[in-house]
Structure 1
Amino acid sequence: MSKDKEGHVKDQKKAPQKTLKEKRAEKAAKRMEKGKAEVQ
């Protein structure tokens, strides 16, 4: 993914306001949910 000077992902036209930190947080949350589902 190409990043502009501000560090935003250009390819994400739908949600340009999302930062890398937010994306990582989302991925982590999804992983947590998957882990919980597997444990139960």
Structure 2
Amino acid sequence: MVMSKEKEPKEKSTKKEPKMTLKEKRAAKMAKREEKSHA
């Protein structure tokens, strides 16, 4: 229950700046791919 409550405010900020979240998600995916290829 506490986790869902903490996620609520995060979703609101995502709706306000969807472009930022999309860019962050892409960067995270790229970073994960790079880490896998390096390992």
Where on the TM-score scale, by shorter chain, does this alignment land: which range?
Answer: 0.5 to 0.7
Q: Which protein is richer in helix relative to its size?
A: 2
TM-score, normalised to structure 1, is 0.56
Matches within 5 A, 1:1-40: 11-12=8-9, 16=13, 19-40=17-38
User: Could you say which structure has the greater relative contact order, defined with CA pairs below 8 angstroms and 6 or more residues apart?
Assistant: 1
Q: Percent identity?
A: 29
TM-score, normalized by length of structure 2?
0.57
Q: CA RMSD in A?
A: 2.7
